[in-house]
Structures are given as C-alpha cells and as structure tokens.
Chain A
Amino acid sequence: MLGLTKKDFNLLLIVVALALLAPFILNPFPSSSGMAQFNAGYPDLMQKFVIFGIFAIGFNILFGLTGYLSFGHAAFLGVGSYSCVWMFKLLGYNVLPGILLSVLTSGIFAYLIGIVSLRRSGIYFSILTLAFAQMSFALAYSVLSNPKFNLTNGETGLQVYADDPQIFHSASAPDLPHLFGLSMRATEKLQIGGWEFQFNAGYYLCAIIMIVMFYLSIRIFRSPFGMMLRAIKSNNTRMNYTGLNARPYTLAAFVISGMYAGLAGGLLSAMDPLAGAERMQWTASGEVVLMTILGGAGTLIGPVLGSGLIKYFENIFSKINSTVLHNWFSFLPDGLEDLMVTLIYPFVGKGWHLTLGVMFMLIVIFLPGGLVEGGQRIKRLFTRKKASDTAEDETAKSTTPAE
C-alpha cells in the first residue's frame, strides 16, 4: 500500500498509531499518583518528541545510509528556527510560510556547506561540518546580532516584538503562532477518572508532519537512490572505480537531511516563537548523533525512538529533585531513607546526564544496533525463531530494491 511493502506499511501504521495516541500512551499514571512524575504526555514534551524525531529521521538519511557522520547538523536546525521566526516577524503568526521558508533556507544552507564539506570523507568531513556549525553558532551568537545589523538577537534569542511589521496579521488572528486561526497552543483537556490527557493542536500538526516525513524516509530508503547511498557507505572507492561519481548522491542526501533538520527547526519555532543561538551549538549536533546511534543508525524507526528516549531523560529525569526522592522513600526508616536518597540522587536531577551516559554506554556495548536491535532480540525471544534465520531475513529485506 502507498508503494510500500507490507512490512514497511505495518511499520508506518505503528508510527501513525504511536504518534496519534501519544497523549494516552505517554500518560500511563493518574495525575494525582506519585508516579505522575514519569508522565510525559504534556504538549511541550510531546512536541519535542516528534520534532526531534523528524530531526533524527533526516540525520539518519545521511548517516544511516551514506555513513557520512555530520557533526554540524544543528546549524540547519538553527537556520530553520531563525527563518521561521523571521516570517513571524515580517508576515504574521501563521506557521505555514515560516515552516516553508525554514525548509528552503536550510536546504540552500546545506547545499553551500555540502559542496565544501563533501570534498572530504570520514573524519575530515565530520570536522569540516563541525567547523561550519561552530562558525554559524558564533555568527548567530554575536557577529550577526550587533545593534547595527541584528539578524539573530544574540543571547536573548530572536523573538517577535509588538512593533514588528507582521503585515498579514489581522486583529482577529491569535497573537501566537497559529494555522489559519487555530492556535498552536490550543489544548483540549480530557479527564477520565484520575487521568488527565492533553490534546494539543501544535502537537498534532507536528505529528502529522512527522508521519509524512517518516513515510518519505521509507520511500528514500527503499528507492534506487537509497540503494546508491548504501553503496557509497559499503565501498565508496569501488563506486569510483566503476566510473560512478558519488558526490551528487551524497550531496543530495546531505541537502535532504539538512532540509529535514530545517523543518524540525521551523517547527520548534512554530511551537514556541523564540529562536536561540544555542540550538546551533556543537552539543546540539552531538545530541542528534546520540539519538540516531541510541535508536539504531540505518534503521527506519530507530532515530525516532532514540530522540524520544533522550528528550524523555532530559525533561523527566532532570526534574526529580531530592524532595521528590524523599517522598518516594518516606516509607523506609529514616536512616535507610537517607541512604537510598544519597545513592540515587547523583543519577537524577542535575545528574541526568550521568544516567544517560551510562545508558548510552550500555546500549553501545551490548546492543550495537541500538534500541531497534534490543526490540528485535526481545521479539526473537518470544517467537522462538532461530536467530540466524531472522538475521538473514533482515538483510534480505533491506537489500531488496523497491522496484
């Protein structure tokens, strides 16, 4: 269906279900219970899940298929964000022009950086992209934000002011990013028993775009073009010897993944109309690499899972403070309670990086294929199929061209 094999179509269905039912899936605990701390079903985090999902899907098209490890993808995210906010400032709060422009500018930006960076491969490519991203960060942070020529508004972050032109802004339209009048912040709350579920307009816009992007990425993976990219990954030299010029293909992959990143950046701004320079910092570029590897590079759904996991840690674990811990263990005798809190405290709250780091190490060491490999192993455990069978099955699947 939709030009997909049955298996891919099922995968797409799973993603659609996950995305549309996220408000239920992510809120498994009643809001009054102590476990509500672990609920992730509030609009901001759900938006982040799908937006960074898009970012990682795009990154995976480059890294997963061609093997070119870009350490500068955050630059495109940042460019997308700035473009979108500029559209808000100039045209008005409708999100469509902003999102379109962010895809466009990041595409152009990726093309320019790609032409230069793709002259080298391997570690040199990574360093070049990193250098470009850091240059963009420095430009955005200070050079392009001086009082005479203020493109990015520096540390404060680009935002919309009351005296901006906003030429298409009408009095009836909401004073917040909206899609033809539907505010991105509009949230429908549904209470069933102790549970509260939040349905946010912005989230569903992002989720639909994510589904479309996911579909697009499946098509790219299964197309002859995707095949070519895989060939580049497995042996670029041999490709060259056969007389094929690989660079247009890698450049196309680079631009496509840059546009995905720009789209993600545009959506970030559309959900929250402020673009800060730190979105371009190398840590942000590193984050998407982690997401992709954590989930499983080269797999379709891996990056989405990886980005979800990292954002979950960042937003949920960082909010567990010592008071919360004391509440959890209050049933224990005093001494034991303090001991438990002391033991766990370094791993939550401000120590969330530590937990994430440990987890990343464990996954890379024991599940080199990321979360997807973990899932496959569990599946194998239950279906009791011979491991070698499925492995062959997988490779057979992934190397069959679509047509």
Chain B
Amino acid sequence: MSKSNLTRRGLLKTSAIAGGGLMLPTYLRAAAHAGFTNAPQGDTVTLGFNVPQTGPYADEGSDELLAQQLAVEHLNGEGDGGCLNTFTSKALKGNGILGKKVTFVTGDTQTKSDAARASAKSMIEKDGAIMINGGSSSGVAVAVQGLCQEAGVIFMAGLTHANDTTGKDKKANGFRHFFNAYMSGAALAPVLANEMGTDRRAYHLTADYNWGWTQEESIVASTEALGWETVNTVKTPLASTDFSSYITPVLNSGADVLVLNHYGGNMVNSLSNAIQFDLLNKQVNGKDFKIVVPLYSELMAAGAGENIKGVLGSMNYNWQLENEGSKQFVKSFGEKYGKPPSNSAQTCYAQVLLYADACERAGTFNPCGVVEALEGFEFDGLGNGKTLYRAEDHQCFKDVLVVRGAQNPTSAYDTLEIVEITPVEQVTYAPNHPMFGGDEATLGECNPGA
C-alpha cells in the first residue's frame, strides 16, 4: 500500500554525491587561521549588539541599541564624531577600527540567560562577531560573559550592577564599564548620613535573586558602618506586582528608613505602594520617614512619576553631568534621536568606543591583545570623567552619582537631580574583597579561541 520513491539507484546516486561532498574539504578547506576566533576577513569588522528587545527591560535595550548605532557611526567617521573629539586616547581616527569599516548585528536577549546565550552564539558562529556588547541584567551578563570566555571573543558588558559580574563570576575576556552594588552602597552611605543622621533604623525589601542579594549585602554593610541598625530584610518574589502586604509590616517594625532593593517594574510598583501607604509623611522615632532606592535609572524614574520626588538613589551616569565628554555625547545623541541618553545608553556607547580604541592601540583584533590594552587603561572624555579599567577584575573605577527625584521637574527628562558626585577614591575596594568572591575568584587566562 505504501508508496516510496526511494529506489536503489536513487540511493546510490545520493550517497555518491554526499560522499563526494564530504571528501571535497580536504583540499578546499580555507586556511584562514589567524590564531583567534572570527578574525575579520575583508575590509569590515562585525560587532554583536545583544540587547533585550522584548521583556521587562525592553526600554533599556532599545536605548542601548540607539547608543550602539551612534557609536558605530562615530567610529566610521559619520555624524559629528561624538566623544571621539573628547576622548583622551587619540588612537581612533574615524576610519573604522584598524582601517576596517565597522558593521554590526543585533540580537534579542529577552532578559533570559538562555536566549541571550543563543543569540550571542549565533552572532559568534554565524555572523562572525568579534565582540559582544549590551544587556540589561546581571544574570544575562554573567551568562554571556561565560560564553564569550569559552568562545574566545571579547565581552563588553552593558547594564549590569551585581557584584558578581566582576566578582565571583569575573572572566578574562569580560569587561564592565557600569558601576556595581558595592559602589552604590559606598557612594550612598555618606549622603545618607548627611541627610538622615547616623542613628537610623533601616528596613530592606529585596528582589529575591542574585542581584538583589548582592545589593542588599552591600547597602547593609555600608549603612551599618555608619551606625545604622538593620531592622529586617525581606525578600520579595521577582514576579510580584503588588507589594502592599510587604509594606504593612514596615509600619509596625519601628523602622524609619525603607530601602528598596528593586529594579525596573518591581521598583516602580513597590515605590508606588509605599507612597500609597503615605510612608513619606509618617514620623517614626521622632524622625521623618525616608525611602532609598539604591539603583536608579531614568526609565524607572519616568515609570514611577510623581512618587519619586525626594527619594535618594545612585547612578552610573546622568545626562545632566557638566563635563566635556558628557556634553558632547548628549549633543550627538540628542541631535540624532531627539532625547537625552539614559544611563544604559551611555555605558554601551562608552564600551563600544573603548573596545575600538583598545584594538587600535593593540594593533590587533586578537582578544588577548585587546585585554592587555584595556587592563589598567586610564581615560577621560567619555562622559564619566576620569576612569580606570582595573587590571585585576576588569571593572571600571570612576565617580559615582548620588541622585534624588526632582521636586520640580521642568521636562519629562529631568526627573532626577544630582545630589553629589562621589569621588572614585570613596568607592574603590580591594580586588579580593569578600563581596567579590574573595581570593578564590580569578579572571583566568584570556582566551583567543581557535
């Protein structure tokens, strides 16, 4: 009854062709082995921009992508050159990287480690990307960093704030320009002491995953060093959208400061709940009740709207910074896209430029050369002021901003005002700090891949 077109002759033919095909490679194989993965062929070099385009951090991702496209334009000598004009290293000439025109591919991380790795792998295996940049979550950053280390390409992290990225999980091929939870704590502490005194009682609500824990650990450590007391630390499930049941116990706990170790939508919701309970107008222990959000972003500020007024937090960068690099970047970004850049946009822009510059200075795309060029590199003019890429853990050290929700914003974009620029000395820590994996965490060897 069954019909089949499979004849013996057909089978023989097919296998002969397949066999012939399999034998061809012996002399057709390209000997283009330059000693490292995806050595650029021809006159272009491909960068991979792996950002969340769907999911909870999609807004941040799209902002990152805009900044990355801007960076590629500037590298190729189009547009106004942006921060190439203010960057202290003058190796980049606006003719691409090492004379090769920069092209890029994009992918969607979906804010999931798996999807992010799949997308990064396809960039490396299919598109020949030599560097991966972007991302908006620490889980994703650590996952992709591990992949890049194994595959032998450079990873320039985007927005990732957990200590682990350049701590416990640091890798030789990975670099982070963004600041981290420890720095947030160290920068916030003196401002908190100034504004709220040294005998406060803090209550923590923490997103229940790695980033939340490292953040909580860092803030608890630095506030207790001030003399504050930690009343309680409560973990909240990441998927929660209503935090009312977590806010009620705060009122009865005798705490007079609420620390929200939340990010993105979580933070918008928990802060709104706290405001609904009128916490900010309460008096506890004879003091005004205060709320602190250690990690701020413009997009969160926009989401929380009115609620954010007067609430303190920290940031990696804010477009209102008045240094040359920042002004130049805001001008280029604003002229192209009609809005000021966000925190995450700036870090990705800077990372792309830093990578390109390192290649130029190293004179090669070989990851090991790039690692060498970036380690211990000091620079300025990318918007954050004077910055050092520390060799021991590939973390950037620069001033950290303490910001406050603006009382009277004049536009949709100045919802945050800068309270203090914490100098870099105050947020520097030893590479083997216990919060960063101690002595056990090592970078390992740089891996150039094939």
Contacts and interface: CB of A to CB of B under 8 A. Distances in A.
Interface of A: 5-7, 10, 13, 21, 24, 39, 42-45, 48, 138, 141-142, 145, 147, 153-157, 159, 162-163, 176, 185, 187-192, 198, 272, 274, 276, 278-279, 314-315, 318-319, 321, 323, 349-350, 352-353, 383, 393, 397
Interface of B: 1-4, 6, 18, 21, 24-25, 28-30, 53-54, 58, 69, 104-108, 112-115, 117-119, 121-122, 125-126, 137-139, 142-143, 146-147, 150-151, 162, 164, 169, 208-211, 213, 235, 237-238, 440, 442, 444
B442 A192 contact: no
Given A141-B208, A147-B213, 17 more contacts: A6-B4, A7-B4, A42-B126, A45-B122, A48-B118, A142-B237, A145-B209, A155-B137, A155-B138, A155-B209, A156-B164, A159-B143, A198-B125, A272-B121, A278-B114, A319-B107, A319-B122
Given A190-B25, A272-B117, A319-B105, A156 B143 contact: yes
A61 to B, nearest CB: 23
Contacts of B125: 42-44, 187, 198
Given A190-B24, A191-B28, A276 B4 contact: no
Given A190-B29, A274-B146, A141 B126 contact: no
A6 B213 contact: no
A157 B237 CA distance: 17
Contact of A155 (B4, B6, B210, B442): B210
B30 A191 contact: yes
Contact of B29 (A189, A272, A314, A315): A189
Nearest to A272: B117
A21 B18 contact: yes
A10 B6 contact: yes
Contacts of B114: 276, 278-279
A393 to B, nearest CB: 7
Nearest to A190: B25
A349 B113 contact: no
A383 B4 CA distance: 12
Contacts of B137: 155
Contacts of B210: 145, 153-156
A350 B52 CA distance: 9
B106 A321 contact: yes
B440 to A, nearest CB: 6
B29 A278 contact: no
B398 to A, nearest CB: 25
Given A315-B122, A350-B54, A192 B28 contact: yes
A266 B88 CA distance: 49
A156 B4 contact: no
A48 B119 CA distance: 12
Contacts of B121: 43-44, 272
A191 B33 CA distance: 14
Nearest to A32: B42
A157 B139 contact: yes
Contacts of A350: 53-54, 58, 108
A157 B150 CA distance: 16
A190 B237 CA distance: 49
A138 B235 CA distance: 13
Nearest to A44: B121
A154 B2 contact: no
A24 B20 CA distance: 13
B205 to A, nearest CB: 14
